[in-house]
């Protein structure tokens, strides 16, 4: 153990700064309420990304069961060896049509999809411009690539204009999340499209928290804004509204073929399980045939945002189903989270480095099946706990 004393010292420092992370075990299927650790009392779950309550839907379970009987569980090889199976091909065709693109490629995780796109497609001599609040997988992938990368803040579009106009670069890429995962606000997609066209840039949008949840057919925020054709590359992680795992990259055929040939995150990993493909296709069926789930989610989110704001709680600029309650210090956020847990709610504290220092928060994730009674109880409890 002494060999790793330097790690324990750092863990001790994290604990002293109220930044140590620990795991809680969920002992029931994903849903608006869950069983946690060894407690006999269910908690109302306001932190899951299971926005449309698809993860444990009976249709998904049936599709997975049927696929397992036919295909087994694992693919047992990388995609380029013998790991490409009928479910992978069918899903990629269906998702491309869903996204309105020529092709799509599946990856084992959203992190790997972002790594594949941003380490492979922007190249030496190119410029990658990212919103400062983009997900860590976007930032880390761009840092690891050969292109130059710079950040801007969405409240300072003039910096983005200057970055696009300056320098001698072969190509320029604009990368953004559609719904920002910690603040719950959305990208100014109209502005980004305007700048993309003005400077001949390539626009990449990570629809992690909007695919399935937004748009007339559920294809995401770009579809909701009427701009899906303006997005050159769409990244859609599948562990949120789709209730599964993995991620899709949807784009033109040339982009898809290039990723298959050059993306290390695609080439050197075992293919996603075929049963997972079956789960995603079942989710696509639900998203297409049950638009009421999106309406219920949007209605719940609007109701809860209004109630929280009327109660004097700081919800930043949230306009989606992700609603932060900004508290400030990590210590206070942890205390609020524990108090909520004791009162029947699961809502972990979000602390640095996930959010900037001084902006620790409780991040509420709304689900389509949350009831008004559950949301009212959360607001009332937050008022007592946070002290506003």
Tens of pLDDT, residue by residue over 101-136, are 999 999 999 999 999 999 999 999 999 999 999 999
C-alpha distances (whole Å) from 173 to each of 135, 231, 232, 246 are: 16, 11, 10, 24
- 172-190 confidence digits (pLDDT tens): 999 999 999 999 999 999 9
- 51-80 confidence digits (pLDDT tens): 999 999 999 999 999 999 999 999 999 999
Query: Among the three residues 272, 289, 306, which one is the final residue of a domain in this structure?
Result: 289
| 72 and 156 share one domain | yes
Do β-strands 247-251 and 233-237 pair in parallel, antiparallel, or remain unpaired? antiparallel
Active site residue 45: no
pLDDT range class, residue 38, cuts 50, 70, 90:
confident
User: Pick the catalytic residue: 49, 320, 330, 368?
Assistant: 49
Do β-strands 322-328 and 247-251 pair in parallel, antiparallel, or remain unpaired? unpaired
Active site residue 376: no
Do β-strands 43-45 and 360-365 pair in parallel, antiparallel, or remain unpaired? unpaired
User: Pick the catalytic residue: 109, 181, 210, 300?
Assistant: 181
The number of domains in the chain is 2
Cis omega before residue 353 (within 30°)?
Answer: yes
User: Pick the catalytic residue: 115, 131, 134, 206?
Assistant: 206
Averaged over 327-349, what is the pLDDT?
Answer: 97
pLDDT range class, residue 388, cuts 50, 70, 90:
low
User: Pick the catalytic residue: 101, 135, 321, 370?
Assistant: 135
Active site residue 12: no
pLDDT range class, residue 332, cuts 50, 70, 90:
very high
State which residues form the domain around 244: 58-289
Dihedral over Cα of 222, 223, 227, 231: its sign: positive
Look at residue 299 and tell me whether its pLDDT is greater than 70.
yes
Contact assessment for residue 130 and residue 139, using Cβ atoms and an 8 Å cutoff: yes
Q: Which residue has the tokens 């153990």?
A: 1
Active site residue 124: no
Residue 318 lies in a domain: yes
| 40 and 81 share one domain | no
Look at residue 86 and tell me whether its pLDDT is greater than 70.
yes
Query: How confident is the model at residue 189, as a pLDDT?
Result: 98
Active site residue 59: no
Query: Among the three residues 239, 260, 289, which one is the final residue of a domain in this structure?
Result: 289
Q: Which residue has the tokens 């650790």?
A: 37
Joined tokens for residue 273: 């399980």
Q: What is the DSSP letter of 273?
A: P
User: Pick the catalytic residue: 177, 183, 185, 232?
Assistant: 177
Contact assessment for residue 111 and residue 302, using Cβ atoms and an 8 Å cutoff: no
Contact assessment for residue 120 and residue 96, using Cβ atoms and an 8 Å cutoff: no
Residue 2 lies in a domain: no
Active site residue 290: no
Look at residue 351 and tell me whether its pLDDT is greater than 90.
yes
User: Pick the catalytic residue: 209, 223, 337, 365?
Assistant: 209
| 374 and 335 share one domain | yes
User: Pick the catalytic residue: 240, 321, 368, 370?
Assistant: 240
Active site residue 261: no
Joined tokens for residue 41: 């009392």
């Amino acid at each position: 153990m002494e060999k790793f004393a330097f790690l324990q010292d750092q863990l001790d420092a994290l604990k002293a700064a109220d930044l140590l992370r620990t795991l809680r075990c969920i002992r029931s299927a994903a849903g608006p309420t869950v069983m946690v650790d060894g407690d006999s009392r269910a908690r109302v779950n306001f932190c899951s990304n299971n926005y449309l309550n698809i993860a444990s839907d009976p249709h998904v379970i049936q599709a997975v069961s049927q696929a397992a009987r036919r295909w087994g569980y694992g693919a047992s090889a990388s995609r380029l060896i013998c790991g490409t199976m009928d479910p992978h091909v069918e899903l990629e065709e269906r998702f491309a049509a869903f996204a309105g693109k020529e092709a799509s490629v599946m990856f084992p995780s959203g992190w790997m999809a972002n790594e594949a796109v941003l380490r492979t497609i922007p190249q030496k001599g190119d410029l990658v411009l990212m919103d400062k609040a983009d997900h860590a997988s976007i930032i880390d992938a761009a840092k690891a690539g050969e292109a130059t990368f710079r950040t801007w803040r969405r409240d300072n579009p003039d910096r983005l204009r200057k970055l696009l106009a300056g320098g001698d670069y072969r190509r320029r890429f604009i990368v953004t999340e559609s719904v920002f995962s910690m603040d719950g606000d959305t990208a100014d997609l109209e502005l980004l499209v305007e700048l993309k066209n003005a400077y001949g840039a390539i626009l990449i949008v990570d629809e992690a928290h909007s695919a399935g949840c937004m748009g007339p057919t559920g294809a995401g925020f770009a579809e909701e804004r009427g701009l899906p054709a303006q997005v050159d590359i769409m990244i859609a992680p599948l562990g949120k509204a789709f209730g599964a795992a993995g991620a899709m990259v949807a784009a033109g055929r040339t982009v898809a073929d290039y990723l298959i040939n050059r993306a290390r995150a695609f080439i050197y990993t075992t293919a996603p399980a075929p049963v997972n493909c079956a789960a995603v296709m079942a989710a696509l069926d639900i998203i297409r045939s049950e638009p009421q789930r999106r309406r219920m989610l949007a209605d719940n989110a609007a109701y809860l945002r209004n109630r929280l704001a009327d109660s004097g709680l700081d919800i930043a600029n949230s306009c989606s189903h992700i609603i932060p309650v900004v508290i400030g210090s990590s210590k206070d956020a942890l205390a609020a989270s524990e108090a909520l847990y004791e009162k029947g709610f699961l809502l972990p504290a979000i602390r640095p480095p996930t959010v900037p220092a001084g902006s620790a928060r409780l991040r509420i994730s709304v689900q389509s099946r949350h009831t008004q009674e559950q949301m009212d109880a959360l607001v009332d409890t937050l008022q007592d706990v946070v002290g506003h």
